[in-house]
Chain A
Amino acid sequence: MNKHFAGDTAVLLGRSLRHITRSADTVITTAIMPIAMLLLFVYVFGGAIRTGSGSGSYVNYLLPGILLITVASGVAYTALRLFLDMKNGIFERFQSMPIARSSVLWAHVLTSLVANLISLVLVVLVALLMGFRSGAGVLGWLAVAGTLTLFTLALTWLAVIPGLTAKSVDGAGAFSYPLIFLPFLSSAFVPTDTMPGPVRAFAEHQPVTSIVNALRDLLAQRPVGTDIWIALAWCAGLLIVAYLFAMTTYRRKIS
Protein backbone atom coordinates (compact mmCIF):
# COMPACT_ATOMS: atom_id res chain seq x y z
CA MET A 1 0.00 0.00 0.00
CA ASN A 2 2.84 2.32 0.83
CA LYS A 3 3.78 2.53 -2.82
CA HIS A 4 0.82 4.91 -3.14
CA PHE A 5 1.78 7.09 -0.18
CA ALA A 6 3.37 9.94 -2.16
CA GLY A 7 0.72 9.92 -4.89
CA ASP A 8 -2.23 9.75 -2.50
CA THR A 9 -0.78 12.48 -0.30
CA ALA A 10 -0.32 14.69 -3.36
CA VAL A 11 -3.94 14.15 -4.49
CA LEU A 12 -5.30 14.89 -1.01
CA LEU A 13 -2.96 17.86 -0.61
CA GLY A 14 -4.35 19.24 -3.88
CA ARG A 15 -7.83 18.85 -2.43
CA SER A 16 -7.15 20.78 0.78
CA LEU A 17 -5.12 23.43 -1.03
CA ARG A 18 -8.21 24.00 -3.13
CA HIS A 19 -10.09 24.54 0.12
CA ILE A 20 -7.56 27.20 1.03
CA THR A 21 -7.79 29.04 -2.28
CA ARG A 22 -11.61 28.83 -2.29
CA SER A 23 -11.93 30.05 1.27
CA ALA A 24 -9.06 32.52 1.16
CA ASP A 25 -10.74 34.22 4.12
CA THR A 26 -9.13 31.65 6.44
CA VAL A 27 -5.65 32.68 5.33
CA ILE A 28 -6.52 36.37 5.50
CA THR A 29 -8.23 36.04 8.89
CA THR A 30 -5.13 34.26 10.14
CA ALA A 31 -3.01 37.22 9.03
CA ILE A 32 -5.39 40.01 10.08
CA MET A 33 -5.26 39.52 13.83
CA PRO A 34 -1.43 39.59 13.98
CA ILE A 35 -1.39 42.58 11.60
CA ALA A 36 -3.87 44.42 13.86
CA MET A 37 -1.60 43.69 16.83
CA LEU A 38 1.38 44.89 14.86
CA LEU A 39 -0.41 48.19 14.12
CA LEU A 40 -1.66 48.54 17.70
CA PHE A 41 1.68 47.93 19.34
CA VAL A 42 3.78 49.92 16.90
CA TYR A 43 1.55 52.99 16.56
CA VAL A 44 -0.25 53.05 19.94
CA PHE A 45 1.84 51.41 22.66
CA GLY A 46 5.18 51.32 20.91
CA GLY A 47 6.11 54.93 21.56
CA ALA A 48 6.03 54.32 25.29
CA ILE A 49 7.90 51.01 25.24
CA ARG A 50 11.65 51.06 25.90
CA THR A 51 13.33 48.04 24.43
CA GLY A 52 16.82 49.02 25.47
CA SER A 53 19.60 50.72 23.57
CA GLY A 54 20.71 49.37 20.24
CA SER A 55 17.57 47.37 19.65
CA GLY A 56 16.53 49.44 16.66
CA SER A 57 12.98 50.41 15.76
CA TYR A 58 10.10 48.85 17.69
CA VAL A 59 8.63 47.16 14.61
CA ASN A 60 11.92 45.28 14.21
CA TYR A 61 11.73 44.29 17.87
CA LEU A 62 8.10 43.21 17.63
CA LEU A 63 7.94 41.24 14.37
CA PRO A 64 9.32 37.87 15.58
CA GLY A 65 6.70 37.58 18.32
CA ILE A 66 3.95 38.58 15.89
CA LEU A 67 5.08 35.84 13.51
CA LEU A 68 4.70 33.25 16.27
CA ILE A 69 1.21 34.57 17.05
CA THR A 70 0.38 34.20 13.35
CA VAL A 71 1.28 30.53 13.41
CA ALA A 72 -0.52 29.96 16.73
CA SER A 73 -3.76 31.36 15.32
CA GLY A 74 -3.25 29.69 11.94
CA VAL A 75 -3.11 26.15 13.33
CA ALA A 76 -6.62 26.63 14.73
CA TYR A 77 -7.78 26.28 11.12
CA THR A 78 -5.70 23.12 10.75
CA ALA A 79 -7.65 21.58 13.61
CA LEU A 80 -10.90 22.92 12.16
CA ARG A 81 -10.30 21.46 8.69
CA LEU A 82 -9.46 18.06 10.14
CA PHE A 83 -12.46 18.21 12.48
CA LEU A 84 -14.82 18.96 9.58
CA ASP A 85 -13.45 15.99 7.63
CA MET A 86 -14.04 13.75 10.63
CA LYS A 87 -17.52 15.09 11.19
CA ASN A 88 -18.95 14.89 7.70
CA GLY A 89 -17.73 11.34 7.14
CA ILE A 90 -15.26 12.02 4.35
CA PHE A 91 -12.43 10.90 6.65
CA GLU A 92 -14.13 7.51 6.98
CA ARG A 93 -14.76 7.36 3.26
CA PHE A 94 -11.02 7.82 2.62
CA GLN A 95 -10.13 5.29 5.31
CA SER A 96 -12.36 2.66 3.69
CA MET A 97 -10.66 3.15 0.32
CA PRO A 98 -7.59 1.39 -1.05
CA ILE A 99 -5.23 4.28 -0.29
CA ALA A 100 -2.20 4.75 1.94
CA ARG A 101 -4.29 5.57 5.02
CA SER A 102 -1.84 7.92 6.73
CA SER A 103 -1.74 10.16 3.67
CA VAL A 104 -5.06 11.64 4.85
CA LEU A 105 -3.29 13.03 7.91
CA TRP A 106 -0.14 14.08 6.08
CA ALA A 107 -2.14 16.03 3.52
CA HIS A 108 -3.63 18.08 6.36
CA VAL A 109 -0.20 18.64 7.89
CA LEU A 110 1.32 19.84 4.61
CA THR A 111 -1.69 22.06 3.94
CA SER A 112 -1.19 23.62 7.35
CA LEU A 113 2.45 24.35 6.46
CA VAL A 114 1.49 26.01 3.17
CA ALA A 115 -1.39 28.04 4.64
CA ASN A 116 0.72 29.31 7.53
CA LEU A 117 3.57 30.16 5.21
CA ILE A 118 1.26 32.34 3.11
CA SER A 119 -0.05 34.09 6.24
CA LEU A 120 3.52 34.66 7.46
CA VAL A 121 4.52 36.21 4.15
CA LEU A 122 1.49 38.54 4.33
CA VAL A 123 2.43 39.67 7.82
CA VAL A 124 6.08 40.28 6.83
CA LEU A 125 4.95 42.33 3.83
CA VAL A 126 2.80 44.55 6.04
CA ALA A 127 5.69 44.90 8.49
CA LEU A 128 7.92 46.02 5.59
CA LEU A 129 5.37 48.72 4.75
CA MET A 130 5.47 49.81 8.39
CA GLY A 131 9.21 50.28 8.30
CA PHE A 132 10.54 46.85 9.24
CA ARG A 133 14.04 46.41 7.85
CA SER A 134 16.52 43.59 8.10
CA GLY A 135 20.01 43.34 6.73
CA ALA A 136 19.99 39.56 7.08
CA GLY A 137 21.36 37.68 4.09
CA VAL A 138 20.06 34.56 2.41
CA LEU A 139 21.48 32.30 5.13
CA GLY A 140 19.94 34.44 7.87
CA TRP A 141 16.51 34.35 6.23
CA LEU A 142 16.83 30.61 5.61
CA ALA A 143 17.54 30.12 9.30
CA VAL A 144 14.47 32.23 10.16
CA ALA A 145 12.32 30.29 7.70
CA GLY A 146 13.65 26.97 8.99
CA THR A 147 12.91 27.85 12.62
CA LEU A 148 9.41 29.04 11.74
CA THR A 149 8.77 25.88 9.71
CA LEU A 150 9.82 23.70 12.61
CA PHE A 151 7.63 25.75 14.96
CA THR A 152 4.66 25.46 12.53
CA LEU A 153 5.15 21.70 12.21
CA ALA A 154 5.21 21.28 15.97
CA LEU A 155 2.01 23.31 16.47
CA THR A 156 0.39 21.57 13.49
CA TRP A 157 0.85 18.12 15.00
CA LEU A 158 -0.46 19.55 18.24
CA ALA A 159 -3.50 20.78 16.30
CA VAL A 160 -4.08 17.30 14.87
CA ILE A 161 -5.01 16.03 18.35
CA PRO A 162 -8.07 18.29 18.90
CA GLY A 163 -8.85 17.96 15.19
CA LEU A 164 -9.29 14.21 15.65
CA THR A 165 -10.98 14.25 19.04
CA ALA A 166 -13.06 17.45 19.25
CA LYS A 167 -16.80 17.16 19.72
CA SER A 168 -17.66 20.61 18.36
CA VAL A 169 -16.28 23.31 16.08
CA ASP A 170 -15.47 25.51 19.09
CA GLY A 171 -13.66 22.67 20.82
CA ALA A 172 -11.49 22.09 17.75
CA GLY A 173 -10.04 25.62 17.81
CA ALA A 174 -9.98 26.30 21.56
CA PHE A 175 -6.50 24.83 22.08
CA SER A 176 -4.98 27.74 20.16
CA TYR A 177 -6.07 30.48 22.61
CA PRO A 178 -3.42 29.73 25.24
CA LEU A 179 -0.84 29.46 22.44
CA ILE A 180 -1.79 32.92 21.15
CA PHE A 181 -1.54 34.28 24.68
CA LEU A 182 1.86 32.75 25.43
CA PRO A 183 3.88 35.42 23.57
CA PHE A 184 2.48 38.09 25.92
CA LEU A 185 4.30 36.36 28.77
CA SER A 186 7.61 36.44 26.95
CA SER A 187 10.13 38.84 25.49
CA ALA A 188 7.96 39.22 22.37
CA PHE A 189 6.47 42.64 23.24
CA VAL A 190 8.70 44.02 25.99
CA PRO A 191 12.05 43.03 27.50
CA THR A 192 11.66 40.65 30.41
CA ASP A 193 13.85 42.68 32.87
CA THR A 194 10.98 44.89 34.05
CA MET A 195 8.70 41.95 34.92
CA PRO A 196 8.24 40.95 38.59
CA GLY A 197 10.26 37.91 39.75
CA PRO A 198 7.93 34.92 39.19
CA VAL A 199 6.54 36.29 35.90
CA ARG A 200 10.03 36.98 34.68
CA ALA A 201 11.19 33.52 35.66
CA PHE A 202 8.32 32.00 33.68
CA ALA A 203 8.84 34.31 30.71
CA GLU A 204 12.53 33.56 30.45
CA HIS A 205 12.09 29.82 30.60
CA GLN A 206 9.23 29.28 28.22
CA PRO A 207 9.79 28.41 24.55
CA VAL A 208 8.48 31.65 23.01
CA THR A 209 11.22 33.81 24.56
CA SER A 210 14.08 31.73 23.20
CA ILE A 211 12.47 31.44 19.75
CA VAL A 212 11.71 35.19 19.63
CA ASN A 213 15.23 36.10 20.79
CA ALA A 214 16.80 33.78 18.23
CA LEU A 215 14.69 35.16 15.36
CA ARG A 216 15.37 38.74 16.47
CA ASP A 217 19.12 38.17 16.52
CA LEU A 218 19.05 36.44 13.14
CA LEU A 219 17.11 39.31 11.57
CA ALA A 220 19.36 41.95 13.19
CA GLN A 221 22.50 40.07 12.15
CA ARG A 222 23.64 39.71 15.74
CA PRO A 223 25.35 36.53 16.98
CA VAL A 224 22.48 34.26 18.03
CA GLY A 225 24.26 32.64 20.97
CA THR A 226 22.63 29.74 22.78
CA ASP A 227 19.08 31.00 22.15
CA ILE A 228 18.86 29.31 18.76
CA TRP A 229 19.76 25.91 20.24
CA ILE A 230 17.31 26.28 23.07
CA ALA A 231 14.68 27.40 20.54
CA LEU A 232 15.35 24.46 18.23
CA ALA A 233 15.34 22.05 21.18
CA TRP A 234 11.92 23.36 22.29
CA CYS A 235 10.50 23.09 18.76
CA ALA A 236 11.93 19.63 18.11
CA GLY A 237 10.86 18.38 21.54
CA LEU A 238 7.32 19.71 21.12
CA LEU A 239 7.19 18.30 17.60
CA ILE A 240 8.17 14.80 18.72
CA VAL A 241 5.78 14.75 21.68
CA ALA A 242 2.88 16.19 19.67
CA TYR A 243 3.54 13.79 16.78
CA LEU A 244 3.57 10.75 19.05
CA PHE A 245 0.36 11.81 20.80
CA ALA A 246 -1.31 12.64 17.50
CA MET A 247 -0.37 9.29 15.96
CA THR A 248 -1.60 7.42 19.06
CA THR A 249 -4.90 9.29 18.85
CA TYR A 250 -5.10 8.60 15.13
CA ARG A 251 -4.45 4.86 15.51
CA ARG A 252 -7.13 4.66 18.16
CA LYS A 253 -9.53 6.36 15.74
CA ILE A 254 -8.95 4.04 12.81
CA SER A 255 -8.98 0.66 14.57
Chain B
Amino acid sequence: MMTTTKQRDQAIDVRGLTKSYKTLRVLRGVDFSVARGSIFALLGSNGAGKTTVVKILSTLLKADAGTAEVNGLDVVTRAAEVRESISLTGQFAAVDEILTGRENLVLIARLRHLKDPGTIADDLLGRFSLTGAATRKVSEYSGGMRRRLDIAMSLIGNPPLIFLDEPTTGLDPQGRIEVWQAVKELAGQGTTVLLTTQHLDEAEHLADRIAILHQGRIIVNGTLTELKRLLPPATVEYVEKQPTLEDVFLTLVGDDGEHPAATPSPAPTSEDPR
Protein backbone atom coordinates (compact mmCIF):
# COMPACT_ATOMS: atom_id res chain seq x y z
CA MET B 1 0.00 0.00 0.00
CA MET B 2 2.89 2.32 0.82
CA THR B 3 4.33 2.03 -2.66
CA THR B 4 1.04 2.79 -4.38
CA THR B 5 0.58 5.93 -2.34
CA LYS B 6 4.14 6.91 -3.11
CA GLN B 7 3.67 6.28 -6.82
CA ARG B 8 0.54 8.34 -6.81
CA ASP B 9 2.47 11.30 -5.45
CA GLN B 10 5.29 10.98 -7.94
CA ALA B 11 4.87 12.03 -11.54
CA ILE B 12 8.43 10.96 -12.32
CA ASP B 13 10.67 8.51 -10.55
CA VAL B 14 14.16 7.91 -11.95
CA ARG B 15 16.66 5.49 -10.40
CA GLY B 16 20.25 4.86 -11.48
CA LEU B 17 19.80 5.93 -15.06
CA THR B 18 22.88 5.51 -17.28
CA LYS B 19 23.33 6.17 -20.98
CA SER B 20 26.37 6.25 -23.23
CA TYR B 21 26.74 7.30 -26.84
CA LYS B 22 29.56 5.04 -28.03
CA THR B 23 32.37 5.92 -25.61
CA LEU B 24 30.81 9.12 -24.31
CA ARG B 25 29.16 8.47 -20.94
CA VAL B 26 26.41 11.07 -20.84
CA LEU B 27 24.44 9.81 -17.84
CA ARG B 28 26.33 8.06 -15.04
CA GLY B 29 23.59 7.17 -12.58
CA VAL B 30 20.85 9.77 -12.43
CA ASP B 31 18.34 9.69 -9.57
CA PHE B 32 15.49 12.08 -8.96
CA SER B 33 11.76 12.22 -8.55
CA VAL B 34 9.21 14.87 -9.32
CA ALA B 35 6.12 15.43 -7.21
CA ARG B 36 2.80 15.54 -8.97
CA GLY B 37 1.63 19.05 -9.83
CA SER B 38 5.01 20.71 -9.35
CA ILE B 39 7.43 22.46 -11.68
CA PHE B 40 10.81 20.75 -11.65
CA ALA B 41 13.79 22.37 -13.33
CA LEU B 42 16.72 20.35 -14.58
CA LEU B 43 19.66 22.71 -14.83
CA GLY B 44 22.87 22.05 -16.62
CA SER B 45 25.33 23.45 -19.10
CA ASN B 46 25.33 22.42 -22.76
CA GLY B 47 25.94 18.72 -23.20
CA ALA B 48 25.19 17.90 -19.57
CA GLY B 49 22.63 15.30 -20.65
CA LYS B 50 19.39 17.15 -19.97
CA THR B 51 17.91 16.31 -23.37
CA THR B 52 19.00 12.69 -22.98
CA VAL B 53 17.02 12.44 -19.72
CA VAL B 54 13.97 13.98 -21.40
CA LYS B 55 14.22 11.61 -24.37
CA ILE B 56 14.42 8.56 -22.12
CA LEU B 57 11.41 9.73 -20.11
CA SER B 58 9.40 10.43 -23.26
CA THR B 59 10.16 6.94 -24.68
CA LEU B 60 12.29 8.23 -27.56
CA LEU B 61 15.51 6.71 -26.27
CA LYS B 62 16.35 3.62 -24.21
CA ALA B 63 18.59 3.90 -21.18
CA ASP B 64 21.54 1.49 -20.83
CA ALA B 65 20.68 0.79 -17.19
CA GLY B 66 18.43 1.99 -14.41
CA THR B 67 14.69 2.48 -14.24
CA ALA B 68 12.41 5.35 -15.07
CA GLU B 69 8.75 5.57 -14.19
CA VAL B 70 6.35 8.16 -15.46
CA ASN B 71 3.00 8.43 -13.67
CA GLY B 72 3.81 5.07 -12.12
CA LEU B 73 4.40 3.41 -15.50
CA ASP B 74 7.74 1.97 -16.58
CA VAL B 75 8.94 3.82 -19.70
CA VAL B 76 10.25 0.65 -21.36
CA THR B 77 7.68 -2.02 -20.57
CA ARG B 78 4.62 0.24 -20.69
CA ALA B 79 5.81 2.79 -23.26
CA ALA B 80 2.46 3.04 -25.03
CA GLU B 81 0.65 3.95 -21.80
CA VAL B 82 3.41 6.42 -20.92
CA ARG B 83 2.86 8.17 -24.23
CA GLU B 84 -0.83 8.53 -23.34
CA SER B 85 0.05 10.47 -20.20
CA ILE B 86 2.82 12.81 -21.37
CA SER B 87 3.54 15.51 -23.86
CA LEU B 88 6.93 16.53 -25.19
CA THR B 89 7.92 20.01 -26.22
CA GLY B 90 11.35 19.51 -27.68
CA GLN B 91 14.33 21.79 -27.90
CA PHE B 92 13.19 23.28 -31.18
CA ALA B 93 9.59 24.32 -31.74
CA ALA B 94 8.28 21.18 -33.44
CA VAL B 95 5.52 22.80 -35.44
CA ASP B 96 4.52 22.25 -39.05
CA GLU B 97 5.59 25.37 -40.91
CA ILE B 98 3.46 24.78 -43.98
CA LEU B 99 0.23 24.36 -42.03
CA THR B 100 -1.57 27.21 -40.27
CA GLY B 101 -1.57 27.50 -36.50
CA ARG B 102 -5.08 26.15 -36.30
CA GLU B 103 -4.30 23.23 -38.60
CA ASN B 104 -1.34 22.30 -36.40
CA LEU B 105 -3.60 22.11 -33.35
CA VAL B 106 -6.31 20.17 -35.20
CA LEU B 107 -3.67 17.72 -36.43
CA ILE B 108 -2.46 16.94 -32.91
CA ALA B 109 -6.03 16.70 -31.57
CA ARG B 110 -6.84 14.16 -34.31
CA LEU B 111 -3.71 12.16 -33.56
CA ARG B 112 -4.72 12.07 -29.90
CA HIS B 113 -8.07 10.66 -31.09
CA LEU B 114 -10.11 13.40 -29.45
CA LYS B 115 -13.63 14.41 -30.31
CA ASP B 116 -14.25 17.82 -31.77
CA PRO B 117 -10.67 18.80 -32.71
CA GLY B 118 -11.88 22.13 -34.14
CA THR B 119 -13.27 23.34 -30.80
CA ILE B 120 -10.14 22.23 -28.96
CA ALA B 121 -8.01 24.16 -31.46
CA ASP B 122 -10.09 27.34 -31.19
CA ASP B 123 -10.01 27.18 -27.41
CA LEU B 124 -6.21 26.88 -27.30
CA LEU B 125 -5.74 29.61 -29.90
CA GLY B 126 -7.68 31.89 -27.57
CA ARG B 127 -5.74 30.86 -24.47
CA PHE B 128 -2.40 31.52 -26.15
CA SER B 129 -3.46 34.76 -27.87
CA LEU B 130 -3.05 33.25 -31.31
CA THR B 131 -6.64 33.67 -32.55
CA GLY B 132 -5.64 36.53 -34.84
CA ALA B 133 -2.90 34.43 -36.43
CA ALA B 134 -4.96 31.21 -36.56
CA THR B 135 -5.25 31.04 -40.34
CA ARG B 136 -1.74 32.21 -41.12
CA LYS B 137 1.00 29.81 -42.07
CA VAL B 138 3.31 29.07 -39.16
CA SER B 139 6.32 30.00 -41.30
CA GLU B 140 5.19 33.62 -40.90
CA TYR B 141 5.08 33.42 -37.07
CA SER B 142 7.63 35.07 -34.78
CA GLY B 143 9.80 32.90 -32.53
CA GLY B 144 7.62 33.61 -29.51
CA MET B 145 4.41 32.77 -31.38
CA ARG B 146 5.93 29.51 -32.59
CA ARG B 147 6.88 28.51 -29.08
CA ARG B 148 3.43 29.39 -27.80
CA LEU B 149 1.85 27.29 -30.51
CA ASP B 150 4.32 24.51 -29.71
CA ILE B 151 3.31 24.55 -26.05
CA ALA B 152 -0.38 24.81 -26.97
CA MET B 153 0.05 21.67 -29.09
CA SER B 154 1.52 19.91 -26.06
CA LEU B 155 -1.54 20.71 -23.94
CA ILE B 156 -3.98 18.96 -26.23
CA GLY B 157 -5.61 16.05 -24.45
CA ASN B 158 -4.60 17.50 -21.06
CA PRO B 159 -1.68 15.16 -20.38
CA PRO B 160 -0.85 15.22 -16.66
CA LEU B 161 2.90 15.58 -17.34
CA ILE B 162 4.63 17.91 -19.77
CA PHE B 163 8.30 17.98 -20.72
CA LEU B 164 9.67 21.32 -21.80
CA ASP B 165 13.19 20.97 -23.17
CA GLU B 166 14.86 24.39 -23.11
CA PRO B 167 11.62 26.17 -23.95
CA THR B 168 13.08 29.67 -24.15
CA THR B 169 16.33 29.03 -26.00
CA GLY B 170 16.63 31.43 -28.89
CA LEU B 171 13.72 33.62 -27.81
CA ASP B 172 13.89 37.38 -27.29
CA PRO B 173 13.04 38.75 -23.80
CA GLN B 174 9.40 39.31 -24.78
CA GLY B 175 9.06 35.75 -26.05
CA ARG B 176 10.61 34.40 -22.87
CA ILE B 177 8.10 36.22 -20.70
CA GLU B 178 5.26 34.84 -22.81
CA VAL B 179 6.51 31.29 -22.35
CA TRP B 180 7.01 31.76 -18.63
CA GLN B 181 3.44 32.93 -18.28
CA ALA B 182 2.22 29.87 -20.17
CA VAL B 183 4.21 27.54 -17.92
CA LYS B 184 2.92 29.22 -14.74
CA GLU B 185 -0.65 28.89 -15.99
CA LEU B 186 -0.08 25.21 -16.64
CA ALA B 187 1.18 24.54 -13.18
CA GLY B 188 -1.74 26.51 -11.80
CA GLN B 189 -4.04 23.94 -13.38
CA GLY B 190 -2.26 21.03 -11.72
CA THR B 191 -0.07 19.85 -14.61
CA THR B 192 3.35 18.55 -13.68
CA VAL B 193 6.11 20.26 -15.64
CA LEU B 194 9.66 19.02 -16.12
CA LEU B 195 11.66 21.87 -17.50
CA THR B 196 15.25 21.81 -18.68
CA THR B 197 17.16 25.02 -18.97
CA GLN B 198 20.58 26.54 -18.89
CA HIS B 199 19.21 29.90 -17.78
CA LEU B 200 19.48 30.14 -14.01
CA ASP B 201 16.97 32.95 -13.74
CA GLU B 202 14.41 30.81 -15.59
CA ALA B 203 14.70 28.06 -12.99
CA GLU B 204 14.58 30.67 -10.26
CA HIS B 205 11.40 32.20 -11.66
CA LEU B 206 9.46 29.04 -12.40
CA ALA B 207 10.58 26.00 -10.51
CA ASP B 208 9.38 24.56 -7.21
CA ARG B 209 12.44 22.34 -7.15
CA ILE B 210 15.72 22.61 -8.99
CA ALA B 211 18.22 19.86 -9.74
CA ILE B 212 21.63 20.45 -11.25
CA LEU B 213 22.84 17.82 -13.70
CA HIS B 214 26.60 17.88 -13.99
CA GLN B 215 28.95 15.31 -15.51
CA GLY B 216 26.20 12.73 -15.79
CA ARG B 217 24.92 12.98 -12.21
CA ILE B 218 22.50 15.06 -10.21
CA ILE B 219 24.82 16.98 -7.90
CA VAL B 220 22.18 18.94 -6.00
CA ASN B 221 18.41 18.76 -5.77
CA GLY B 222 16.22 21.04 -3.70
CA THR B 223 14.12 24.16 -3.51
CA LEU B 224 15.68 27.50 -4.36
CA THR B 225 15.95 28.36 -0.67
CA GLU B 226 17.66 25.06 0.05
CA LEU B 227 20.11 25.57 -2.78
CA LYS B 228 20.90 29.09 -1.60
CA ARG B 229 21.64 27.75 1.87
CA LEU B 230 24.41 25.62 0.38
CA LEU B 231 26.55 28.73 0.11
CA PRO B 232 27.55 31.09 2.87
CA PRO B 233 25.20 34.09 2.98
CA ALA B 234 26.55 36.56 0.50
CA THR B 235 26.00 40.25 1.08
CA VAL B 236 28.63 41.56 -1.27
CA GLU B 237 27.17 43.65 -4.05
CA TYR B 238 28.79 43.63 -7.40
CA VAL B 239 28.87 46.67 -9.60
CA GLU B 240 29.21 45.84 -13.24
CA LYS B 241 32.28 47.47 -14.71
CA GLN B 242 31.52 48.80 -18.16
CA PRO B 243 34.45 48.45 -20.53
CA THR B 244 36.00 51.78 -21.41
CA LEU B 245 36.99 52.56 -24.94
CA GLU B 246 40.55 52.07 -23.76
CA ASP B 247 39.76 48.51 -22.64
CA VAL B 248 38.09 47.77 -25.95
CA PHE B 249 41.03 49.20 -27.84
CA LEU B 250 43.60 47.30 -25.78
CA THR B 251 41.69 44.06 -26.14
CA LEU B 252 41.37 44.46 -29.88
CA VAL B 253 44.99 45.40 -30.58
CA GLY B 254 46.36 43.03 -27.92
CA ASP B 255 48.32 44.08 -24.87
CA ASP B 256 50.51 41.04 -24.17
CA GLY B 257 47.55 39.49 -22.38
CA GLU B 258 48.01 41.69 -19.33
CA HIS B 259 44.62 43.34 -19.74
CA PRO B 260 42.03 40.65 -20.46
CA ALA B 261 38.68 41.75 -21.79
CA ALA B 262 36.64 43.49 -19.16
CA THR B 263 34.11 41.03 -17.82
CA PRO B 264 31.68 41.37 -14.96
CA SER B 265 32.83 39.57 -11.82
CA PRO B 266 31.30 36.13 -11.45
CA ALA B 267 28.34 36.03 -9.12
CA PRO B 268 28.16 33.30 -6.44
CA THR B 269 25.52 31.42 -8.45
CA SER B 270 27.58 31.38 -11.62
CA GLU B 271 26.45 29.12 -14.47
CA ASP B 272 29.82 27.36 -14.34
CA PRO B 273 29.80 25.25 -11.19
CA ARG B 274 33.58 24.90 -11.09
Q: Which A residues fall within an 8 A CB radius of B? A: 1, 4, 7-8, 11-12, 15, 18-19, 22-23, 88-90, 92-99, 254-255
Nearest A residue to B91 by beta-carbon distance?
Answer: A89
Is there a chain A Cβ closer than 8 Å to B95's Cβ? yes
Q: How far is the CA of A94 from the CA of B59 in the complex (A)?
A: 11
Contacts of B97 in A (CB 8 A): 88
- A98 and B83 in contact, given A7-B113, A11-B107, A11-B111 (Cβ under 8 angstroms): yes
Contact status B111-A95, CB under 8 Å = no
| B residues at A contact (CB < 8 Å) | 55, 58-62, 80, 83-84, 86-88, 90-99, 103, 107-108, 110-113, 137, 153
Please name 30 pairs of A and B residues whose Cβ atoms are closer than 8 Å in the assembled complex, sorted by A.
A4-B113, A7-B113, A11-B107, A11-B110, A11-B111, A15-B99, A18-B98, A18-B99, A18-B103, A22-B137, A23-B98, A88-B93, A89-B93, A89-B94, A92-B60, A93-B90, A94-B111, A96-B58, A96-B59, A96-B86, A96-B87, A97-B108, A97-B111, A97-B112, A98-B84, A98-B112, A99-B111, A254-B60, A255-B61, A255-B62
- Complex Cα distance, B55 from A95, in Å, reads 11
- Give chain B residues whose Cβ lies under 8 Å from the Cβ of A15: 96, 99, 107
Residues of B contacting A: mostly: loop
A97 touching B83 in the complex, CB below 8 Å, given contacts A7-B113, A255-B62? yes
| Shortest beta-carbon contacts, A-B, top 8 | A89-B94, A96-B88, A93-B94, A89-B90, A96-B58, A98-B84, A98-B83, A90-B94
Q: For A99, what are the chain B residues with a Cβ–Cβ distance below 8 Å? A: 111
With both chains docked as a complex, state the minimum distance between the C-beta of B159 and any C-beta of chain A, in angstroms.
9
Instruction: Compute how far the CA of A8 lies from the CA of B93 in the bound complex, rounded to whole angstroms.
Output: 22
CB contacts (< 8 Å) of B107 on chain A: these are 11, 15
- A94 to B55 alpha-carbon distance, docked (Å): 13
Closest to A12 in B: B111
Chain A interface helix/strand/loop/mixed: helix
Residues on B with C-beta less than 8 A from A88 are 92-95, 97
Residues of A near B62 (CB, < 8 A) are 255
Q: Is the CB of B111 within 8 A of A92?
A: no
Known A-B contacts A15-B107, A97-B83; A90 and B112 likewise in contact (beta carbons under 8 Å): no
Q: Kindly list chain A residues whose C-beta atoms are within 8 Å of the C-beta of B84.
A: 98
Cα(A94)–Cα(B153), bound, Å: 11
- B83 to A, closest residue via Cβ: A98
- Kindly provide the distance from the CB of B85 to the nearest chain A CB, expressed in whole angstroms: 9
Known: A93-B94, A96-B88. 12 other contacts (CB 8 A): A7-B113, A11-B107, A12-B111, A89-B90, A89-B92, A92-B60, A93-B90, A96-B60, A98-B80, A98-B84, A99-B111, A254-B60
Residues of A within 8 A of B98 (CB): 18-19, 22-23
CB nearest to B96 among chain A residues: A90
Residue among A18, A22, A92 making CB contact with B90, cutoff 8 Å: A92
A95-B92 CB under 8 A given contacts A8-B111, A22-B98? no
A91 (CB) vs chain B CBs: closest residue: B94
* A11 neighbours in B (Cβ, 8 Å): 107, 110-111
